[in-house]
Structure 1
Amino acid sequence: MKTIFQGKRIASILGILPETVANFDDEVGNYAFPPSQTMRLKRLMGFKQHRLAKENSTVSDFGVYGLQYMLKNNWIRKEEIGAVVVVTLCPDFFVPQVSNIIQGELKLTKDVICLDVAQGCCGFLVGLMQSFMLLEHLGNKKVVLVNGDVLSHKISKRDRNDFPLAGDATTVTIIENDPNAKAIYYEMNMDGSRADALKIPAGGFRMPSSDATAEMKDCGSGNFRSLNHMHMDGSGIFNFVQTDVADMLQAAFENGSKNIDDIDYFFFHQPNKFILQKLAEKVGIPPEKMFMNLVENFGNPSGASIPMTIIFNRAEELKTTQKNCCLAAFGSGLAWGLMFMDIGNLAFCEMIESNL
């Protein structure tokens, strides 16, 4: 899918972090590998610390916490909200939907549209697409886009390949109509034939969770996990990024109205530092324009990674100025996409910590 959106803008962004900080150095003993071998990954992959939600904390908890913070500070009013879109892989329940839970907790009006979207790494781009389309029918109302996951609950703490990357976070983005906003180029690609590259085998209707699926096993590489745990095919994802994702970016710059010099900042999904460095090298993106520091500070927060990267690196600047940005994401699905859009003059762009 390739399209152009007109008259839409991001008005503000809030990031909500759990208070628990886990340090990579303290987790080395969890893994069935010599500590010296594990520590070599620290510099290469960008492992330092990550945020972990409490066992009973859910995406709706973080979404409600963030929106209550916004309402308390008069950053948005209830009567301005026309839709709540939640993008997550971690629903509180099969039923009801997270967006409806948030609407009910905040006592929003009954004409507010509530919509959940199951999407991971590309969740911010997919959520923006859905929000832009809803705005065509909401007049002067705004869309509240919640991107959040608590995937640390679904990753084995004895899996050195996956657990160091786990980072729980939620973002709340306010999106609105703006007739003066510049056109937004949007592209999204999907390939379900490679869906197994990032998967939680058990827990759905295909394979319900059971005592058997909870059994921890050595997967043959010294990593212990069960069928209830998420696993990423690291080499498969790396090759996917170096081929499909790099080709998409290069084609967009060759065939579109933008080139790399036109872009002020590149805000990409943050799988790990190594993948991003190799992608930047292949596409020719100057390292000073592309941020690769989210994993070492917070872990990989799935679909919240792009707005978290924006807040962490350029919050103050984007409150007062507008920048030409390239957003790109890639991962579970498999899915990969990009956007060219101006971001700036934000009403607020903040990161807060919760006790969740």
Structure 2
Amino acid sequence: MKITYTHAAISRIVTVIPNQKINNHDLPFDDKTKKKIIKMTGVETRHVLDEKTSLLPLYIQAAQEIFKTIDPQSIDAVIVVSQTPEYRLPTTANVLHGLLDLKKDALAFDINQGCSGYIYGLSQAFALLETASDIKRILLFDGDAISKISEPENKSTAFLFGDAASVTLCERTNDSKSYFVLKSDGHGYTNLIVPDGGIASPLCANSYEKQSDETGNTTSASTLYMNGTEIFNFTVEEVPSLLEEVYTLSNQTPEMIDVFCLHQANRFMLDFLADKMGIAHKTPINIDRYGNSSSVSIPLLICDMPEVCTRSHALLAGFGVGYSMSAALLDLSNTQTMLKGFEA
């Protein structure tokens, strides 16, 4: 799907990271294994939620920063993008709506989407701003705590994932063009999956039994399974053509784009993609300090490196779980950003 918007823009992004910092060199694996995986993923340190904290207080802290400059009652919609919701039901958006005491005629809903989710959420917000006359301001929350669903003995995931939460203030504008391309290939959904926990395969005692997979890696059906090879193949095959579609839609060339803010999947993949597409000099990377934070990796990157990312021609791209893909070219030159640690 290709979409052009002309009356929506991002005003502010606030990202909050947990205080608990993990050094991957300290994980309980042998030194040879740690050295190899850290080199491949590029992840030196990560921030993860502690056992007593969910994403909810991080969302609220981020929103309170937004409310220092605008009236909470001016918010017309709340959207939450996450694959680690606060509850199975109700939606996290409705929980936040109540805790933030927003007006009753503001709509609220969740989007269950991972690596490409931030751009999917932006597209939904921009579509509402473009078409609904009563909607002028939207809070787009984006957060994931993949560390909570990762097996700590699984070498494929234990080193990779960090947690974070963000909120993006989207507002109606008079003239601000943006270009979105959203795609999917659900044939590969089994390559990045938590097998048990849904109604297709409910949690049971066997879900928590640890097993060894074909590579000798520890896994369980209640935690995240990732076929890294297949995810890599999907990414390097599909992402270049995804960006080509954005170039065509926007009538832009890579040389005309200021910065490429890619989902921080892993360092090897990012380097390979950037080199293949000839954009390495325009592709900021911060996965070494925060890990792969799923869909929130893009707003985290923007808030962590605003001097690089807040440009007039910024191309954002997300890709991964569910074989979902998204990209957007938009103007971030007037976007204010903030990165904060969680204030417990």
TM range (shorter): over 0.9
231-240 vs 242-251, which deviates more? 242-251
How do 1:141-152 and structure 2 match up within 5 A? Answer: 141-152=136-147
SS in 2 for 1:212: helix
- The ranges of structure 1 where at least 4 consecutive aligned residues each deviate by more than 4 angstroms after the TM superposition are none
Distance 1:8 1:249 in 2: 21
Counterpart in the other structure of 1:169: 164
Give how far 1:204 is off: 1.0
Distance of 1:312 and 1:222 partners within structure 2: 37
Number of the residue aligned with 1:37: 33
Q: Could you say what the CA RMSD is over the residues aligned between the two structures, in angstroms?
A: 1.7
1:75, distance to aligned residue in structure 2 (A): 2.5
Give the partner amino acid of 1:314: P
Separation in structure 2 between the aligned mates of residue 273 and residue 75 of structure 1, nearest angstrom: 36
Question: How far 1:2 sits from its partner (Å)?
Answer: 0.8
Amino acid at match of 1:288: H
Match of 1:306 among 272, 278, 298: 298
Match of 2:17 in 1: 17
Which residue identity lines up with residue 45 of structure 1 in the other structure? T
Aligned residue number for residue 333 of structure 1: 322
Aligned to 1:92: 86
The alpha carbon displacement at 1:225 in A equals 1.8
Quote how far apart the aligned CAs of 1:256 are: 4.7
Q: Is this contact kept in 2: 1:270–1:300, CA < 8 A?
A: yes
| C-alpha separation in 1, matches of 2:308 and 2:269 | 27
Greater shift after overlay, 35-44 or 223-232?
35-44
**Residues 1:206 and 1:351: Cα distance change in structure 2 (over 3 Å):** same
Hey, what's the Cα distance between the residues in 2 that align with 1:332 and 1:354? 27
Residue identity matched to 2:137: K
Residue of 75, 79, 89 corresponding to 2:73: 79
For residues 288 and 221 of structure 1, the distance between their equivalents in structure 2, rounded to whole angstroms, comes to: 36
Moved more, 39-48 or 335-344: 39-48
Give how far 1:140 is off.
6.0
Q: Give the TM-score, by structure 1 length.
A: 0.92
Q: How much does 1:54 deviate?
A: 1.6
Find the residue that maps to 1:175 and give its secondary structure: strand
User: Secondary structure at 1:163's aligned position in 2?
Assistant: coil
| Pairwise CA distance, 1:222 | 3.1
Task: Judge conservation of contact 1:315–1:350 (CA < 8 Å) in 2.
Answer: no
1:48 aligns with 2:60: no
Q: 1:259 is matched with which residue? A: 253
Is the counterpart of residue 102 in structure 1 residue 96 in structure 2? yes
TM value normalised by structure 2: 0.95
CA separation of 1:192 and 1:101: change in aligned 2, threshold 3 A: same
Question: 1:82·1:138 contact (CA, 8 Å) conserved in 2?
Answer: no
Query: Could you say which residue in structure 2 is the equivalent of 1:68?
Result: 64
Q: For residues 278 and 134 of structure 2, what CA distance do their matches in structure 1 show? A: 41
- Tell me, in whole angstroms, the C-alpha distance in 1 between the residues paired with 2:334 and 2:247: 26
Which residues of 2 match residues 117-196 of structure 1 at below 5 A?
117-135=111-129, 136-139=131-134, 141-181=136-176, 183-196=177-190
* Contact 1:197/1:237 (8 A) holds in 2: yes
Question: Which of 188-197 and 138-147 deviates more?
Answer: 138-147
Q: For 1:116-139, what per-residue CA distance to the aligned partner results, in whole angstroms no more than 9, with x for missing partners?
A: 010000111100011012213154
1:316 to 1:330, Cα distance in 2 relative to 1, 3 A? closer
Q: Any gaps of 5 or more consecutive residues in structure 1?
A: none
Report deviation, 1:52.
0.7
SS of match in other structure, 1:58: coil
Which of 312, 328, 350 is 2:338 aligned to?
350
Contact 2:17/2:342 (CA < 8 Å) preserved in 1? yes
Q: Distance in 1 between matches of 2:116 and 2:291?
A: 16
Deviation for aligned residue 1:343: 0.8
Question: Relative to structure 1, is the Cα distance of residues 82 and 255 closer, same or farther in structure 2, using a 3 angstrom cutoff?
Answer: closer
- TM superposition shift of 1:255: 6.6
Contact 2:3 2:181 in 1 (8 A): yes
Q: How does 1:195-206 map to 2 (within 5 A)?
A: 195-206=189-200
Distance in 1 of aligned mates of 2:340 and 2:37: 29
What number of residue pairs does the alignment pair up? Answer: 343
Q: Does 1:231 align with 2:219?
A: no
CA separation in 2, counterparts of 1:254 and 1:108? 40
Q: 1:255 to 1:110 in 2, by over 3 A?
A: closer
Q: Is the 8 A contact 1:149 1:168 kept in 2?
A: yes
2:318 pairs with 1:323: no
Q: Distance in 2 between matches of 1:102 and 1:186?
A: 27
**SS of alignment partner, residue 108 of structure 1:** coil
* Cα distance change on mapping 1:335 and 1:171 into 2, 3 Å: same
1:164 CA drift (Å): 1.0
Counterpart of 1:291 in structure 2 is 284
Identity of aligned residues (%): 28
